[in-house]
């Protein structure tokens, strides 16, 4: 399910992406909570199309945490260290997803050999 999320999240056609969520799913992003598929649809329609470069995957007691760098047409792109915490999901639907910056997230990046690297401090 987590792999499908990232495969579909960067696509222009939002319907397959939205089909990943349960009707009563909850998504938290940028300090806002979106409850149910209608609110998730409205949230997603207001977000720019981005690409994802997964930099870490961790299994925790609270769920699967994926850290990624996102790139797209938005101020601050690329943004490193965004964490996607899949707290409730199974093979068919996502029920709870929290999206928030991790520690040290958002540092300016430069293009390195095959990946984005932080600028030296």
pLDDT tens digits along 18-41: 999 999 999 999 899 999 999 999
pTM attached to this predicted model: 0.83
Confidence tier at 105 by pLDDT (50, 70, 90): low
Give 15's pLDDT tier (boundaries 50, 70, 90): very high
> How far apart are the C-alpha atoms of 89 and 23, rounded to whole Å?
13
Q: Which residue has the tokens 């999240």?
A: 9
Q: Are 12 and 49 in contact (CB under 8 A)?
A: yes
């Amino acid at each position: 399910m987590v792999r499908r999320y990232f495969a579909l999240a960067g696509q222009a056609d939002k319907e397959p992406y939205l089909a990943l969520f349960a009707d009563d799913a909850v998504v938290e992003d940028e300090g806002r909570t979106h409850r149910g598929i209608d609110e998730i649809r409205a949230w997603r329609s207001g977000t720019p199309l981005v690409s994802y470069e997964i930099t870490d995957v961790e299994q925790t007691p609270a769920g699967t945490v994926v850290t990624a760098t996102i790139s797209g047409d938005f101020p601050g792109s690329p943004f490193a260290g965004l964490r996607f915490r899949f707290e409730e999901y199974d093979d068919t639907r996502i029920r709870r997803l929290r999206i928030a910056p991790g520690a040290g997230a958002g540092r300016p990046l430069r293009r390195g050999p095959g990946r984005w690297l932080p600028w030296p401090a």
